[in-house]
């Protein structure tokens, strides 16, 4: 266990994985702990959060799992209070909750539009709303919001709700960073590119959009889109998050760090 985050407490929203393997929130939680942080692993699925927390504990770290529907303010308040009462402070907030629904503006139903905005955007707003005052009171903190390159450019698949929410979260990151910079709360974002994670595998419609319903065909097509020749994984996001919340990034705020193997550099 290293020490880049020693003596820090991290609240990770979306710390479980949506399927077997390593999702961004799960990997980030474990890596935070390996770097010395105490972790509050929050997820709507308590079993998934507990799996992450147990990995941390088995490696000698300190973690607690919390069930939370992050679209409900009362449950966010309860999760924040659990972190505060258990560890006394919150130094790091990682907003890693997100879902994707395939479809453009013509195809997406209004109810799906509202649901994706609640999950992807409202959840981050609520978490920041209730964590930032604690960070200000204790003298500072660091927040990372997980956006996407889909919020920066068209990626070849129409999921207008995902793209719109991730673009909005990117700008919410910048405006909040500007507002709280003088109060020593840093707010940054990570924009992952095409990643090989359980969420991608289990998102309805993605495999059909990419590979006619064939998962392996989807993986190959996504690999081929990336200049480096392959997708990233959850650990690429986790290592970027460790940097942004560590004291090494003490002069960095309002940044949307692209982690995408070069795909946003392509002109087509």
pLDDT above 70 covers what percent of the chain?
Answer: 98
131 in any annotated domain: yes
205 in any annotated domain: no
Host domain of residue 96: 9-196+233-257
Domains in the chain, number: 1
Determine the Cα angle at 46 with ends 145 and 143, to 5°.
15
219 in any annotated domain: no
Determine the Cα angle at 102 with ends 41 and 158, to 5°.
120
98 in any annotated domain: yes
Question: Which of 180, 62, 88, 165 minimizes the C-alpha distance to 128?
Answer: 180
Q: What is the CATH number of the domain that holds 239?
A: 3.40.50.720
211 in any annotated domain: no
Which parts of the chain have pLDDT scores under 70? 1-2, 204, 211, 268
96 in any annotated domain: yes
Task: Give pLDDT tens digits for 83-97.
Answer: 999 999 999 999 999
1 in any annotated domain: no
- The set of catalytic residues is 162
**Furthest C-alpha separation in the chain:** 52
pTM score over 0.75? yes
Task: Give pLDDT tens digits for 144-202.
Answer: 999 999 999 998 888 999 999 999 999 999 999 999 999 999 999 999 999 988 878 77
pLDDT at 202: 73
């Amino acid at each position: 266990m290293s020490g880049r985050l020693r003596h820090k407490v991290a609240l990770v929203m979306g710390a479980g994985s949506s399927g077997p393997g390593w999702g961004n929130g799960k990997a980030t939680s474990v890596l935070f702990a390996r770097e010395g942080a105490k972790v509050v692993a929050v997820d709507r699925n308590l079993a998934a959060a507990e799996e992450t927390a147990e990995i941390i504990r088995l490696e000698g770290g300190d973690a607690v799992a919390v069930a939370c529907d992050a679209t409900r303010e009362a449950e966010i308040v309860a999760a924040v209070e659990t972190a505060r009462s258990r560890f006394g402070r919150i130094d790091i907030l990682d907003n890693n909750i997100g879902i994707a629904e395939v479809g453009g503006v013509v195809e997406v139903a209004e109810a799906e539009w509202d649901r994706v905005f609640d999950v992807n955007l409202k959840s981050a707003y609520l978490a920041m709303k209730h964590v930032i005052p604690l960070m200000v009171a204790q003298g500072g903190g660091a927040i990372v919001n997980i956006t996407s390159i889909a919020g920066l450019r068209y990626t070849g698949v129409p999921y207008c709700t995902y793209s719109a929410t991730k673009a909005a979260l990117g700008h919410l990151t910048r405006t909040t960073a500007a507002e709280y910079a003088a109060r020593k709360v840093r707010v940054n974002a990570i924009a992952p590119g095409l990643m090989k994670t359980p969420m991608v595998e289990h998102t309805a419609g993605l495999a059909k959009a990419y590979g006619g319903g064939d998962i392996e065909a989807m993986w190959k097509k996504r690999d081929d889109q990336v200049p480096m020749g392959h997708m990233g994984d959850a650990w690429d996001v986790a290592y970027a998050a460790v940097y942004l919340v560590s004291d090494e990034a003490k002069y960095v705020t309002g940044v949307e760090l692209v982690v995408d193997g070069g795909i946003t550099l392509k002109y087509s």
